[in-house]
Structure 1
């Protein structure tokens, strides 16, 4: 018979605090399956599996409220979630590995009194140019609050910030492209969860993006051929898939229709 674990045992096992487990319970994020006769929380194997998902999503930067909603969705699929998490973590690991090698090269050069090759110094950061469409964006959206907020934030970003922004965006788009390749519906929980992750990504790095605005962004991906061509390089039809996933996610959150700016 499966033995239930107490909150202190789970805290030691997962290397998190008892307070965190209590907080997850209060949020309805992770409620223990049972209680002892004395009223103490008891966690089952299924509870531990759910906790693992909470910690995976948390490590990837998902807010607790979004994690609660994702795990509470009746269409949530553990296998799909694990595959998505593995891809996101693999991409992060590759980035960190490149940065470790860059640091090692810099230390080695410092100790030997030599210089790292100028191009090699920044190889780990890639060649992403955030200013490529800056002037056009200013003309098109310069008077909007979203543009002003984005301009305030991005003015402080360094090359490593832009490298991280590009990598996070690439991972999300690739995960969506993989769903498209697998024949997954754009209205599936997996696609909507990734659409929500993309919306949160915009909010973290650029501007607050309500669901209705995010749906409008998806429409623009299809309406503007330059966006369509660039996005569809990852997989033909991806721009349409993004539009539909963004729209489905907005509808799931009860967003009202708004015109695309």
Structure 2
């Protein structure tokens, strides 16, 4: 490496500032022989010449469009390298990345909508899936009430990727469970019995389509069913007294799992 005065070139720090590349990267490229400064001062400091800067500019351009360092070395140093072919291949990879990013962008839009709206279905789709009595404002009200909870975030993440067909499957599962609860009450199934406990566990599984439901949370939900007129009207509309029967069944199942329903919390 020829000796030079400081005026003959730029130091690593100066090149770092001028090109916007870290000193660490410049040292690494020097170590691997990708871009070595051509000069050295009498004091031993390495200096980059104008030609070195041109090579660094090329490295930065190729790195920016996605080439790895080994590929860049081949392009710059191998006279037989098929540069147009390498660029075409890289263009294909860039197009694939753009497509993935566009899909990611669309997914982010759905996630934002899900967090803000809760249900990514049109009013017509909601009526077709959940029935003509369904209130399309229900999810907006739920977001206003629960939007800052972990459960709403979990619900929104699932809703963002759920298709109308998948929502239909959820609605069908809920309807099947409602019928099973009514039939069990008609058959004289008592809270705490094995059959009632199976229905309580089935309720946890079905409800977990929205967000994971622990047994303590289920106890709180059962109490809410009984206290909230809208929930009570739904279950008592299936069978008179079903709301209380179901709450009692949830409480009995909780006790079987060493949970005191009177002290259960939303956790």
Q: Structure with the greater relative contact order (CA < 8 A, sep ≥ 6): 1 or 2?
A: 1
